[in-house]
Amino acid sequence: MQNIKILTAGDSSLLVEFGKEISPEINQKIAATVRLIHDQNIEGVVDVIPAFCSLLINYDPRIIRYEQMKKRIEGLIRVDVRKGSQIRKIFEIPVLYGGEYGPDLPYIAQHAGLSEEEVVKIHSSSDYLIYMLGFLPGFCYLGGLDERIHTPRLANPRKKIPAGSVGIGGSQTGIYPLDSPGGWQLMGMTPVKTYDPSRKVPILVQAGEYIRFIPIDEPEYLRIQELVKNGEYECAIRYEKEEA
């Protein structure tokens, strides 16, 4: 990848630009670089923030200077990430679609010219790549929403969307990690907490991993909700080999 650029972002950060498009390949390269940085335990690195096609690295200039840092990163991005050797980590997120849990599902279906059942089937039948986290703690930017169910945002955003809401905003889908204002079309709710500050690991998922939505009914929703409340629920995780 010769078009990778290392750019200065002040005296304590540098930005690695891997390209100018949103693609799984670029994102995979970024996730691999993040892993390498963590594995190598570079002294002075404070935080590594992956985005769609870039990586911001915050560092402490008292410990490592710009030239050294740049050299280390140049070394890392030369490492070839072989395709086919990757294992997909897929979080199975249970979702109760429709009704009072997903008040905009009828609109999404109407906009797509499909039935609600078809929309749910489409939404829950692909693995979504987590391109990056941002906006709110634990908010995932997911890629791969089927074009048939792309739906414009609400003209008038809601003042409060409850944590756990699953929705569609334009070509994106995602989960609200905490109560927040927002303009996405809400199609369901998950009882799983993607963000829980009292948990040892507050954020469930990381960039580079995948999410799959699993439709559930109300009794199951209430059962999981109870387990989550008691700290007894563990999200199912599936591992799959990426096709070469």
Partner 1 sequence: MGIRIIKAGMMTTVQDLGRTGYQSQGFPVAGVMDVRSFRIANLLLDNPENEAALEFTLIGPTLEFTADTLIAITGGDFQPTINGEPAPMYTAIYINKGDVLKFGSARTGSRGYVAFSCYLQIPVVMGSRCTNMKSSIGGFKGRKLQDGDYINFRIKRRYLRFFLSRTLDLDEFDQEDATLRVVMGPQDYMFSKQGIETFLNSEYTVTSDFDRMGCRLEGPFIARKEEADMISDGIAFGSIQVPAHGKPIILLSDRQTTGGYPKIATVASVDIPKLVQRKTDHKIRFKAITVQEAQRLYLEEMEELNEMRKKIHQPCREVLECRQTARRMRRLFEAQ
Instruction: Kindly state whether residue 138 participates in binding partner 1, applying the rule CB under 8 A.
Output: yes
Distances (CA, A) of 113 to 119, 148, 155, 218: 9, 9, 20, 26
Note whether 133 binds partner 1 by CB under 8 A: yes
Selected from 10, 84, 113, 219, the binder of partner 1 by CB under 8 A is 10
Measured from the CB atom, the residue of 15 and 81 that comes closer to partner 1 is 15
Q: Which of 36, 56, 81, 154 binds partner 1 (CB under 8 A)?
A: 56
Asked whether 149 and 108 are in contact (CB, 8 A), the reply is yes
Position among 44, 183, 202, 215 found at the interface with partner 1 (CB under 8 A): 202
Residues of this chain, 63-92, that bind partner 1 according to CB under 8 A: 65-67
CB of 132 to partner 1, least distance (A): 7
Judged by CB under 8 A, the residue of 197, 217, 226, 242 near partner 1 is 197
**Is residue 103 a contact residue for partner 1 (CB under 8 A)?**
no
Specify the residue, 62 or 82, whose C-beta has the smaller distance to partner 1: 62
Closest residue by Cα to residue 211 from 144, 148, 151? 144
Contacts of 212 (CB under 8 A, 6+ apart): 90, 91, 92, 93, 124, 126, 127, 128, 238
Q: Which of 137, 152, 162, 181 binds partner 1 (CB under 8 A)?
A: 137
Find the angle CA(95)-CA(96)-CA(98) to the nearest 5 degrees: 125
Regarding 184 and contact with partner 1 (CB under 8 A), the answer is no
177 binds partner 1 (CB under 8 A): yes
Question: How many residues make contact with partner 1 (CB under 8 A)?
Answer: 47
Residue with tokens 């560092």: 59
Q: Which is nearer to partner 1, 64 or 114 (CB)?
A: 64
Contacts with partner 1, 28-47, as mask; x by CB under 8 A: ------x-----------xx
User: Which of 42, 55, 166, 175 forms a contact with partner 1 (CB under 8 A)?
Assistant: 55
Interaction of residue 215 with partner 1, rule CB under 8 A: no
Q: Which residues bind partner 1 (CB under 8 A)?
A: 7-15, 17, 20-22, 34, 46-56, 58, 61-62, 65-67, 132-139, 141, 177-178, 197, 202-203, 206-207
